[in-house]
Amino acid sequence: MKRSQRDLHQYDIAVIGAGHNGLVCAAMLAKSGKRVVLLEARQKIGGLCVTEEIAEDVQGSVCAHLVHGLNKRVVSDLRLSKHGITFADGFQSTIALNEDGQHLTLTRDVAETKNNIASFSTSDANNYLKFDERLSAFARVLSVLADEPMPSIVHAAKGDERQWHKARQALAKLPADQSADFLHALSSSLADFLDDYFETDLLKGALAHDAVMGNALGPRSPGSTLGLLYRRTTELLGDPHYFGHPIGGIGAISDALGKAALEAGADIRLGADVTGLNVIDGSVVGVTLEDGQTISARAVVSSLDPRKTFLSLLPAGTADLRFLRKMRHWRCEGAAAKVNFALDAIPEFVGLSEEEVTRSRLLICPSTDYLEFAFNHTKYEEFSDYPALEIVIPTALDPTLAEPDQHVMSILVHYCPLHVKEGWNKVRDRFVERIIRVLTTFAPDIADVITAGQVLTPADIAQDFGLTGGHWHHGDLSLDQSFFFRPDAAAMHYETPVPGLYVCGAGSHPGGSLTGTPGHNAAQVILTREKERA
C-alpha cells in the first residue's frame, strides 16, 4: 500500500464497542502495528464486564460476575499478568442448595465432587467420572473448532483442510461408541442428556443451570446440551488461573485489557456512540458518531450484536436481502436478569458456614424441572415465582468493593423475559419480591440485611448497554446459531458480506461468555484479509 493512500484514512481500523471482545480485538490489531481506534458509547470500557456503583459507596460487578474461561491465548498474547489482575482466594466451588439443608458441593476437583455426590447417590458418584470424562472429550473436539475461525463448508480456503483434519483427528480420538454420543449430545436436550447419567435432581439442576445460562432455552429445549459442551469448551480453552472473582470486580479484567490496548497503541474514545456505518462504493470506510462527527478507517470491526450491526448501523441498501433476512431472524431476546443487593451483614444460609457463603458460588436450582418451570413463564411474557438463582457474595474476600461492614450480593436470575405483559415499570418491585422470597427459604434473615438494590432486566441491559434484546451472549447459543451459523454462513469468518466490515463480538464464532475468543480469532482474520486488500 502506498503511503498517500493510507493517509486518506484517520485510522486503519475502527473497532466499535469496548466490551471484552472489542478490547481484545483492538489490542491485538494495535499490537500488530495497525492504527486502531476503539469507540465506546458509554463513559467506561468493559461492556457487560464492568464494576460500577450498585448502591451508594458500594461497588459491584454489575452484569457478568465470575470468570471461568478467559482464553489462554488472550492472557498470554496481551500479557495480562503484567496489568495486575489478582483473583479472590475462593469461588472455586459451587454449592447447589437444597431446601432440606443437605447441600451438594461441586468443585473443580473431580474426585472430591464424586465423594460429595456419593452422599446422595452411589451410582451418580460413579457415573460422574464417566460424565466428566466424556464432557471433556467432547469439549476437546469442539475446542479445535472454537479456538480458530471456522473452516469453510463449501468454498475451501487456504488452511481449511488443515483445520478440518485437526477436527477429524479430534473426533477420531473419541472411542467408537462415544462419537455417536457426541453427535447426539450436540442436539439433545439437557434433561434427556443428564438423565442418561444421573438420578439426583439437585446435581442435574446445578449442571443444567450452568448450561442454559443467559440463553432463552430451557433444560427441555432440544439442543440445550450444546450449552453444557460450550461451557466446558470455554473452560478448556481458558486460562485455569483466571478463575472466579477478580479483585476489584469483573471490571478489573476489562481494565487490564484496556491497559493492554493502550499500551499496544490503540486510541480509546469514551462516549463515542456510533450511530451509523459510512459506506462508499459499497465498502465500509468509517463510522458516524451521535454528535455527527465522522471517523474514517480502512476497515470497521463491530463487537456489537449482529442485529445492531447489520440492521441498525449498516445503511439500508448495503447488504443483500437473504443475509439481512437471516439477521432479522437472529434470536437474541434476553432471558436472564441481574439483581445486585447491598447488604449490611453476611446473611446466614441454612446448613452453610459463613466461610462457605462468602467463598462459594451458590446455586438455587434444585432440579431440571424447577428450571424448566421457571422457563415456561418467559414464553408468555411473565416471570416465574420460583426463579433459579446464581449467587455470589464477593465482598468478604474483596475489600475493594465496599466498606468493611458493607457487602454485595450479586445474583444472576433465570429466567426473566425481555417484555412483560404489564410493562416492567409496574412489576419490577414484584419481581424483586419473588427473588427475596426464594432467597428467604434458604437464608431466612435475608430481608433484614438488604439495604439497597439494583435490578437489570433484559430490557434494562438492552437500554443501558446497547445490546439488542439484552441478551447475555448477543444471541442464543443453540446449534442453529453456532459454528457455521454464528451469525451466518456468510459471516462466520468474522468477514461480512460487506467489504470493509468485520464482526468480533459474542454474536460471532464461537460465541458468548467472558472468553475473548471471538475478538482474538477476528483479529487474526482481519490482519490477513487487510493485507490482501491493501
| Binding residues vs another protein (CB under 8 A) | 282, 315-318, 320-325, 328, 490, 497
Least Cβ distance, residue 299 to another protein (angstroms): 17
Least Cβ distance, residue 12 to another protein (angstroms): 23
Least Cβ distance, residue 236 to another protein (angstroms): 36
Closest by CA position to 416, among listed 364, 379, 462, 464? 379
> What CA–CA distance (Å, rounded) separates 88 from 399?
10
Question: Judging by beta carbons within 10 Å of its beta carbon (0-12, 13-18, 19+), is residue 102 exposed, middle or buried?
Answer: exposed
Q: Which is nearer to another protein, 265 or 276 (CB)?
A: 276
Distances from the Cα of 517 to the Cαs of 131, 143, 148, 170, 235, in angstroms?
Answer: 26, 11, 8, 20, 12
Identity of the residue numbered 29? L
Cβ(323)–Cβ(485) under 8 Å? no
Q: Which is nearer to another protein, 310 or 341 (CB)?
A: 310
> What CA–CA distance (Å, rounded) separates 532 from 534?
6
> What CA–CA distance (Å, rounded) separates 98 from 365?
8
Least Cβ distance, residue 498 to another protein (angstroms): 9
Q: Which is nearer to another protein, 243 or 502 (CB)?
A: 502
Q: Which is nearer to another protein, 91 or 310 (CB)?
A: 310
Distances from the Cα of 81 to the Cαs of 22, 252, 257, in angstroms?
Answer: 19, 12, 10
Least Cβ distance, residue 493 to another protein (angstroms): 15
Helices assigned H by DSSP within 156-292: 160-173, 176-187, 190-195, 201-212, 225-237, 251-264
Least Cβ distance, residue 163 to another protein (angstroms): 24
Q: Which is nearer to another protein, 188 or 496 (CB)?
A: 496
The residue length of the chain stands at 534
Q: Which is nearer to another protein, 32 or 318 (CB)?
A: 318
Which triple of cell numbers denotes residue 51?
464494576
Q: Which is nearer to another protein, 152 or 318 (CB)?
A: 318
Q: Which is nearer to another protein, 82 or 325 (CB)?
A: 325
> What CA–CA distance (Å, rounded) separates 238 from 87?
15
Residues 6 or more apart whose CB falls under 8 angstroms from that of 350 comprise 101, 442, 443, 444
Least Cβ distance, residue 490 to another protein (angstroms): 8
- Residues 308-335 as b/e (b if ≥16 CB within 10 A, e otherwise) read bbbbebbeeebbeeebbebbeebebbbb
Least Cβ distance, residue 497 to another protein (angstroms): 7
Least Cβ distance, residue 282 to another protein (angstroms): 5
> What CA–CA distance (Å, rounded) separates 472 from 215?
7
Q: Which is nearer to another protein, 250 or 332 (CB)?
A: 332
Least Cβ distance, residue 279 to another protein (angstroms): 8
> What CA–CA distance (Å, rounded) separates 530 from 12?
9
Q: Which is nearer to another protein, 324 or 436 (CB)?
A: 324
